[in-house]
A and B are shown apart, each in its own frame.
Chain A
Amino acid sequence: MEQLIFWFFCILLMVSGLFSLFSRNLVHSAFWLLLVLLSVAALFVFSGAEYIAIAQILVYAAGVVVLIIFGVMLSTRLVHEKAGAFIWGNRWSSYILSLSLTGLFIWIIMSSVWEAYHLPDSNEMLFSTSDLGRMLVTTYAFPFELVGLLLLVVIVNSALIAGEITKES
């Protein structure tokens, strides 16, 4: 049963990723991106990282996708069908590059031995959310604060630039 749900989310992820790649409308592309991000959150739950899954849904699915959709809709000329069009000339070479990269990855993964990474038989997970929270305020407190500072700088920067844009027009 778990296998079945896992493969359901995997296939959902790949199919919506491909739709996001091939759709010519930028808004459709953004909505397929939303589906990809939610399936990635499901995969996080399957590997026992519930906190990361919640952060993924809050930051990506609720933040980034809404930002992209708003951004696209605010500038109407970005939406028309040319917006999803492809770079001329090197389109097929890009597809061949990506496909051969997939083949290379899968060949490397299949020819390696992953026995060391199989989970032990005991039922509890090795690492819990409370451990993660404790690490964030002890060993990794400085990087955590640094990320907060980075987000503050980004907010101030984009507010400043957006203010300039509205002042000019």
Chain B
Amino acid sequence: MKEIAMEHYLIVAAILFSIGLATTLVKRNAIAVLIGIELMLNAANINLVAFSRTDPDGEGQLLALFVIAIAAAEVVVGLTLVFLVYKHKQEADLNTYNELGET
């Protein structure tokens, strides 16, 4: 495991982050945007765990664990909101989500 250099993890995480950013910006469905956010969180987690390899305190791994737990909570709340708005509008297109409250 030690012949894998730090740069390789960082480059893979950078590419994954950019794919997630492109998904978030380009997709028009609300659930697809949630998928993009998950990709970006995972890229950050790769960096945290890779940097904790040389850290005897290992706080990076702990933070990665908390990120996983909070990302699960985030996707649950996000999907609930999407379904509420979907039930209201019969549409999951983010371009139509441009007003607040009852119409």
Chain A interface (Cβ within 8 Å of chain B)? 2-3, 6, 10, 13-14, 17-18, 20-21, 26, 29-30, 33, 36-37, 40, 43-44, 46-49, 51-52, 55-56, 59-60, 63-64, 67-68, 71-72, 75, 77-78, 82-87, 90-91, 94-95, 97-99, 101-102, 105-106, 109-110, 114, 116-119, 121, 125-127, 131-132, 135-136, 140, 143, 147, 150-151, 154-155, 157-158, 161-162, 165, 168-169
The contact of A29 among B35, B51, B87, B91, by CB within 8 Å, is: B35
Cross-chain contact B69 with A147 (CB below 8 angstroms): yes
Cross-chain contact B39 with A43 (CB below 8 angstroms): no
> With contacts A17-B15, A109-B10 known, what are 10 further pairs, Cβ within 8 A?
A18-B19, A36-B16, A36-B42, A72-B31, A77-B90, A78-B92, A119-B1, A135-B58, A136-B62, A162-B83
Q: How many angstroms from the CA of A9 to the CA of B52 in the assembled complex?
A: 20
Cross-chain contact A105 with B17 (CB below 8 angstroms): yes
With contacts A109-B10, A165-B84 known, is A114 near B32, CB below 8 A?
Answer: no
B7 contacts chain A at the CB level, 8 A cutoff: yes
Among B16, B61, B94, which residue has the most Cβ atoms of chain A within 10 A?
B61
Q: How many angstroms from the CA of A87 to the CA of B15 in the assembled complex?
A: 22
Enumerate B10-37 residues with CB–CB distance to A below 8 Å.
10-12, 14-23, 25-29, 31-32, 34-35
Chain B interface (Cβ within 8 Å of chain A)? 1-12, 14-23, 25-29, 31-32, 34-35, 38-39, 42, 45-46, 49-58, 61-62, 64-66, 68-73, 75-77, 79-80, 82-84, 86-87, 90-95
Distance to closest chain A CB from B96 (angstroms): 12
Cross-chain contact B76 with A158 (CB below 8 angstroms): yes
**CB-defined contacts of B55 to chain A, threshold 8 Å:** 126-127
Closest 4 CB pairs of A and B: A127-B58, A105-B14, A94-B25, A98-B22
Q: How many angstroms from the CA of A70 to the CA of B80 in the assembled complex?
A: 12
Cross-chain contact B31 with A26 (CB below 8 angstroms): yes
Interface SS of chain A: helix
With contacts A2-B3, A47-B49, A83-B92 known, is A109 near B14, CB below 8 A?
Answer: yes
Q: Which residue of B lies closest to A19 (CB)?
A: B19
The contact of A20 among B39, B50, B65, B79, by CB within 8 Å, is: B39
Q: How many angstroms from the CA of A42 to the CA of B2 in the assembled complex?
A: 15
With contacts A97-B25, A98-B25, A147-B69 known, is A87 near B35, CB below 8 A?
Answer: no
Cross-chain contact A161 with B68 (CB below 8 angstroms): no
Cross-chain contact A117 with B54 (CB below 8 angstroms): yes
